[in-house]
Amino acid sequence: MIDCHSGRIGKKDSGFTLVEVLVTMVILAIALLGMAALLAGIMQGNTYSNMVTTATTLAQEKLEEVRRIGYSGVESGEENYGDITDFPLFKRTTNVTSDSPAAGMKTVTVTVYWNSNNKSVELKTILTD
């Protein structure tokens, strides 16, 4: 067959072949799957960061309460999941160790847990008599 426009014998060179279209689609699909995995990882990281920030804030609030109560009134205790108002996904424990690190001092450790105790944040302070 002779192409009237170019004077060449054979097929026209316009358009894409089926193989070219399929290869392009495979490359595009791989790129989109990679971007989807990246997006999922970013979202998971943001969720984890939010949980750490919330847990740290809850621990800091408890330490401020402990400082307000003072040396003589501070006690160990636990707030289970659902006990902390507006934060049902978190559990908070307060552990008081007397005469630590020295006589007349108390080490107060506040630990906030989430994800069924699989993740936690721990803050400490020392109170003196």
Q: Where are the domains of the chain?
A: 18-128
DSSP conformation class of 67 = H
- Which pLDDT does position 12 carry in this prediction? 63
Q: What is the pTM of this model?
A: 0.75
Structure tokens at 8: 């060449």
d(CA 68, CA 60): 12
- Which pLDDT does position 16 carry in this prediction? 84
d(CA 83, CA 121): 17
129 residues of the chain, pLDDT tens digit each: 555 555 555 556 678 899 999 999 999 999 999 999 999 999 999 999 999 999 999 999 999 999 999 999 999 999 999 999 999 999 999 999 999 999 999 999 999 999 999 999 999 999 998
- Which pLDDT does position 6 carry in this prediction? 56
Q: What's the sign of the alpha-carbon dihedral 49, 54, 60, 63?
A: negative
- Which pLDDT does position 15 carry in this prediction? 82
- Which pLDDT does position 14 carry in this prediction? 76
d(CA 61, CA 56): 9
Nearest CA-CA partner of 74 in 92, 97, 91 = 97
Sole residue written with tokens 């392009």: 24
- Which pLDDT does position 51 carry in this prediction? 96
DSSP conformation class of 27 = H
